[in-house]
Structure 1
């Protein structure tokens, strides 16, 4: 079960890409931890969707030594990378291969999904959110951040070009940049921010609020009442 963008070679280089591609990457992790901690005990049990790579689990485990984590991801190759990343906290991290429907029932004290939802097809988005919602205890926070921008033209094409251009070298081959844009159009599911927020509410979450915006990326926090 491996997403076409996460074969063995791309998985091995994954940990190098997000810090280059996502504005304020380290600060995003810090904000996520703060928002989750507002509604979580010191010995919180957290659910991490799209845990392959392990970067957010390591950052959160570094900052919150009492927390433990269940991380789930469909890619075996990405989970191999995650195991290496979280070695200092291996006793507090359980990694599971699969999709959200096969995650433990919880209840969890919080959940997060970073740089994950743009890989989930539109028709699976609401069900994914509902699965997360059911696994949270009442009052728990859920944070998610991924690519999200207007889907009307010419705005959509302009934002895709900005997304690609942000992490590209200044002397990048224009043909390669165009190919990267075409790959995003074909392989990622990008929704407008308004649709993202509406879907969170449809799944049952309340208090939906934007907490992060970095060029093509948006991040929200929401709560289980």
Structure 2
């Protein structure tokens, strides 16, 4: 993504195609074979209301994507959102891009197992610049943008916008937490620390070992480009999207729908 040179497109037309863009800042979990094999467990343990997030995302897309529309999926590795949309909307076609080839392979396997025809989905190994020019009727970028460095957010979103038709929707969801003093301004843990602690607590309540959840929280705090909700909305507008509306909040995660200006 962003300023990094895109990988040459590798269009895979097996009976399904692949997910998650592997960015230099993307965790090794998206390249480690054992971690990739366990990927499907992760979102539901880490993201409050994950299945509802998928359903809401496709409902928002369907408000504007026609019955035989074409959808761009940025960060398509793993294939969870591709499978969800493909089964719910049998007339839609998809182009997915992801920097992790193992995650794309996993997506292809998932789609094949779900019975999704290979001629409906094309997967590309690389960043958003690797994706076809479109124009697309809509796009998603779920649980991906927090891996993109702050200075690359706007250029990345511009690349998505350039591939969309006027008025087309973009649905994004990722880590996004407030900054500032803690509740009551008492000098205790800041708001960001509070929400990241709740993020870890949700993982523990979902069956993740305490030490693993604590390590994940610390890595998020130290390594990921987690913006505030206000900053996230600002970068969407700066990239040329309008009608920016928050539709989802799950502890440290937020989701927005926006549209390309006419």
**TM-score bracket for this pair, using the shorter chain length:** over 0.9
Match of 1:45 in 2: 70
> Are positions 1:188 and 2:224 aligned together?
yes
Q: 1:175 to 1:48 in 2, by over 3 A?
A: closer
Moved more, 19-28 or 73-82: 19-28
> What is the TM-score normalised by the length of structure 1?
0.94
| Separation of aligned partners in 1, 2:43 and 2:179 | 23
C-alpha distance 94-173 of structure 1, shift in aligned 2 (>3 A): closer
Q: Distance in 2 between matches of 1:162 and 1:9?
A: 27
2:90 paired residue number: 65
The structural deviation recorded for 1:174 is 5.2
Q: Is 1:134 matched up with 2:162?
A: yes
| CA RMSD in angstroms, aligned pairs only | 1.7
Indicate whether 1:157 and 2:185 are aligned.
Answer: no
- 1:86-101 paired onto structure 2 within 5 Å: 86-87=111-112, 88-89=115-116, 90-101=118-129
Q: Which residue of 2 aligns with 1:108?
A: 136
Pairs aligned (count): 225
| TM-score for both structures, normalised by structure 2 | 0.81
Report 1:177-216 matches (<5 A).
Answer: 177-216=213-252
Consecutive unaligned residues of structure 1, counting only runs of 5 or more, are none
Find the counterpart in structure 2 of residue 6 from structure 1: 30
Does the C-alpha gap of structure 1 residues 173 and 55 become closer, same or farther in structure 2, counting only changes over 3 Å?
Answer: closer
**Tell me, what secondary structure is at the counterpart of 2:166?**
strand
Distance in 2, matches of 1:203 and 1:155, equals 27
Q: Please give the alpha-carbon distance, in whole angstroms, between the structure 2 residues aligned to 1:181 and 1:218.
A: 17
